[in-house]
Structure 1
Amino acid sequence: MLKTETPSTQHAQLDLYPTDQLVAALVDDQFRAVDAVRLASPQITAAINAALPRIAAGGRLLYVGAGTSGRLGVLDSVELNPTFSWPPERALAILAGGAGAMFTAVEGAEDDVAQGAADLLALLPQGHDVVFLLAASGATPYVLGALRAARGAGALTVGIANNVDAPVATQAQCGIVLDTGTEVISGSTRLKAGTAQKIALNTISSALMVGLHKTYGNLMVDLKPTNAKLILRAVKLTMHATGADEAQAKSVLEQCQFHVKVAIVALLKKITTDQAQALLAGAGGSVRSALAA
């Protein structure tokens, strides 16, 4: 039996726990998700190093999964645009059962190998694309079908699973095993198995964005200010990076559609936003390189 499906020996009387003990059991078990990701750090590092040159060359991030794993892939893909101004067409997710499965469980969809392959091929994968195959069990047929199709198309495959020797991890070029073990509620991989996958995805996509110069130091300088909160954040980030006051930061940001990178370079080098934009373009989007130019 897979570890993720094996009943926990620690909480056989879970339904008898008082609420405080139940909360403690559920929360404390989540720490094992962090431990599992930490142990997989070398595999995660290898995946990032393999993916970065492909993405820098114009590749896309493609996510494939079923159930909780698939929904986590969707979540990672959609958050890259507001956080890093990453083009939505370069972060796509497919989910067993289609888009509706994001909100309603579609039973049996995960068992269709051919549909997984067809859905992946519909995205027209190419050599520079990076495909994340997500499955807690590591053997979901839909995901394995997509994996084989992705490899056949020459894309880089990154398999993320929660069981040792899982096919999704062993058959991908980059396998990541998040060995989270048994769940407090037997087989409920929406718990720490899902948490570990979320941490791994956050780590991978964030590291890729840092490598693509979407940050300046640890500042999120390539966000897309699509609401009042993000506009205020853009102002605060610009102030922090440059020492400008609020009025000055906002004035320069208004001249460049609130593009924080451009405002920082313009303010620190005392140049126009058009000149700052040109410097950034010549520096591959790196604020540090543009400031040194």
Structure 2
Amino acid sequence: MTKPQTEALHAASEGLDARPLTEIAEILAAGQIAAAEVVRAAEAQIAQGAELMAHSISSHARLHYIAAGSSGLMAAADAQELGGTFSIPPSQIRIHMAGGLPTGVEMPGDTEDEAEGLAQGLADLSAKDTVIAVSASGETPYTLAAADIAQRAGASVIGIANNPDTSLLRAANVAICLATPAEVLSGSTRMGAGTAQKIALNILSTLMAVKLGHVHDGMMVNVHADNAKLRARAAGIVARIARVDATVAMAALEATDGAVKPAVLVALGASLAEARALLTNTNDNLRAALARQT
């Protein structure tokens, strides 16, 4: 049986521990860079996955991030950033991690072979939902069980794996293969494989936000300014897009209770009611609303 690439020995592994730490650091850094590069080969598939995710969110359905071990941490990190970065409602995001999200410093390793509680956790899965299933090996029992449940429910499955031609990728509607090189520490997929997964997940969710109209000229226009740091950032965004000074931008944000998109329109002279109507009529797309306002 051919050993999967994620379990193979790295070319620089022999005598690794006998080298100076600076040399080992160079090898490790090179391994991370090589892992990051493989994401380029999956750009088309990542874009397809983002379309599915955006459709679920715009349909008031849910995203389900499902994984075990280190892959679970990568998936959870992306899911937990969606609210703060793009104001995706918490009710539309679910995290399913084998054994549950860790509450301490230890992460159980045996749970990835189990699917206990998974059927219950996915009992209300709908055909409009999208499942983002992540597994470095592509053969993790927990993740495969989730993909099977999702397929039977008619939900869309985005499979992310670091080995080609694996069960997860075959079960997915969109298969994202991140064929990372052998790990410098054989089998330690928290390293190269995890790096590629994190990059792919970052791109997936950002492309989703672009499709939803939550990004304008590289700015996060769906962020809700509910703390001092975000208020300052939001004021800068409003000022830049509307080409007004900071005082006008801050007043517009106060009028919209910290919501950036309507604040831009208010800063340009619209009433709050007009701003909300413009955004409603353009599917919450600021660029389209601006075109109609002018």
- The match for 2:266 is 266
Q: Which runs of 5+ in 2 are unaligned?
A: none
Q: Give the Cα–Cα distance (whole angstroms) in 1 for the partners of residues 256 and 86 of structure 2.
A: 16
Aligned pairs for 1:1-293 within 5 A: 1-100=3-102, 103-112=105-114, 114-115=115-116, 117-122=118-123, 124-268=124-268, 270-293=269-292
SS of equivalent residue, structure 2 residue 209: helix
SS of equivalent residue, structure 1 residue 224: coil
SS of equivalent residue, structure 1 residue 250: helix
Q: Give the Cα–Cα distance (whole angstroms) in 1 for the partners of residues 120 and 194 of structure 2.
A: 23
TM-score, normalised to structure 1, is 0.94
What letter corresponds to residue 58 of structure 1 in structure 2? H
Give the CA deviation at 1:212: 0.5
Give the CA deviation at 1:41: 1.4
Q: Give the Cα–Cα distance (whole angstroms) in 2 for the partners of residues 84 and 284 of structure 1.
A: 15
Q: Give the Cα–Cα distance (whole angstroms) in 2 for the partners of residues 119 and 136 of structure 1.
A: 25
Q: Which runs of 5+ in 1 are unaligned?
A: none
What letter corresponds to residue 169 of structure 1 in structure 2? L
Give the CA deviation at 1:11: 2.8
- Is the Cα–Cα contact under 8 Å of residues 7 and 183 in structure 1 kept in the other structure? yes
Q: Give the Cα–Cα distance (whole angstroms) in 2 for the partners of residues 53 and 107 of structure 1.
A: 34
SS of equivalent residue, structure 2 residue 289: helix
Structure 2 CA distance for partners of 1:71 and 1:119, relative to 1, 3 Å: farther
Give the CA deviation at 1:116: 6.4
Q: Give the Cα–Cα distance (whole angstroms) in 1 for the partners of residues 15 and 111 of structure 2.
A: 33
SS of equivalent residue, structure 1 residue 126: coil
- Is the Cα–Cα contact under 8 Å of residues 144 and 168 in structure 2 kept in the other structure? yes
> What count of residue pairs does the alignment treat as equivalent?
290
Q: Give the Cα–Cα distance (whole angstroms) in 2 for the partners of residues 31 and 175 of structure 1.
A: 22
